[in-house]
A and B are shown apart, each in its own frame.
Chain A
Amino acid sequence: MDHVKRPKLVRTQPIRRWATLFEGATGQTDAGPAPDGAPGAGDATLGDMLSRSVQIGYRVVDEYVRQGQKAAARLSRGTPTEGLAGDVQDFNLRLMQHTSELFGVWFDFVDRYVAGGLVPRAAAPSGNGAAPAPVPPAGTSTPVRVHVVSPWPTEVTVDLRPGTSGATLVVQALRAVEPEKPRLDGVRFEPGTADAPPQLRVRVPATQPPGVYHGLLVDAATSVPAGTVSVRVSHDE
């Protein structure tokens, strides 16, 4: 059986000339402002007019991005970055900073959300009418054993919500506020047993740059944040 095959395309990548997208357009892409864009103008004038509109459009977006870069450079705490890649990097840096700062706020929010009866209608348990699980009183501490393997001086801080010691927690990869630093993914949480408290295992590779890495502890069953982990790695002996 013969299959109909499309002829091989001459182009090897998308054609960036906008004008080829329109039937009847002239294909001119660098024309100046059209002398007359009124109806009845010829094809060349129409193409020029369309080209000019699209060029203006691209200029507007480019200028918008450029202004964003300038704003980002003003907001950044370090050396102003250059170029779009720098802008994105700066944006990521700010995002990471915001995220780190919001961990605490978020944790507090979830604590209130669950404990304070603020669960919205759509999130409430459905069907069985079960009451929300009792939440231990605030201030009840949950002991955690921390096991660290690191060639560098390392400081670990764990903030675990009360009542979660028996839960199966997942540690999200820890991130530094500097986006160029690799994530610290050698952190595992082992739930506690009747005889032993939960254990946090931290393994820092020799290649890990110095810095502070933050991550969330998330209840694997509910996806609700259960705590935070911060690891400070120092290369000062």
Chain B
Amino acid sequence: MNTAPPGLNDVLQRTFSFPKRHFLSASDLNEVEVANLLDLADGFVSLNRQTSKKLDLLKGRTLMNLFFENSTRTQSSFELAGKRLGADVVNMSPRSSSISKGETLIDTAVTLNAMQPDLLVVRHSSSGAASLLSQKVSCSVINAGDGQHEHPTQALLDALSMRRAFGRIAGLKVAICGDVAHSRVARSNIALLQMLGAEVRLVGPPTLIPPQAERWNVAIFHDMREGIAGCDVVMMLRLQLERMDGVMAPSQREYFRFFGLDREKLACAAPHARVMHPGPMNRGVEIDSDVADDLSVSLIQDQVEMGVAARMAVLTSLAARLENAR
């Protein structure tokens, strides 16, 4: 234990055996599990800020990143998380390999499974893809985003950022703004934040709010100023530019005028309000640089840092449960 970096004991004390084999959806979690994961992640944040960041909690384990959709930041976040925990990390981009040769998702899964990975991180453009994969492999599957369904580690890192900024999540008013309809980030956040006792609102034009979302126990606003009024957190979502040219919204300039977050609209939120964005941002479209870059209101950089810690917490907890764990 002499060689252990400071804080490791602290972290190890927080490790708990996660009761599920996979990490697929925020709605699968319960309040206790989330609290444990957040506590654990908090410990990793301190560790990650030290010079020596390397741990051996996942020593001997193999982490496979399987990204059917390109994502620099999520993939490197998982890669770093795995490496800092001492796992061997392999990055697969099936886009440029077998899948493009006609192999089905399940064939790929079975092939990769034969290589005996312990943890499989999956991103796919189809909703439900991670769940389908998890039924065909013997390792743990972590959903790193499936279509327009869920992105549970993003919700976890968002919750961690909020908890650190406000000291709590229960009772916070959170406005999720923009392209909710196509957002897996929004769906995971709605589930997790509501579980933790936050009040969630959705803000966007009707074309970007999922049909019948009012049944999710969220208030829906089509006027951004009304929607973010009094909110503690304004969570902006990315809107793909091609959806903006007269498809879901008339134009970039109209979108920014009515649904882009600038100082003037932000003034409607609570005085201490913080701004979040899962990235990558379209500056001047959904968010004004002036707001995004103001560290006194923006949590956007924190979110990236919390991402590594939150993913380390998920990987550690899943690994602790694996059959051959100890």
Whether A and B are associated in the same complex: the answer reads no
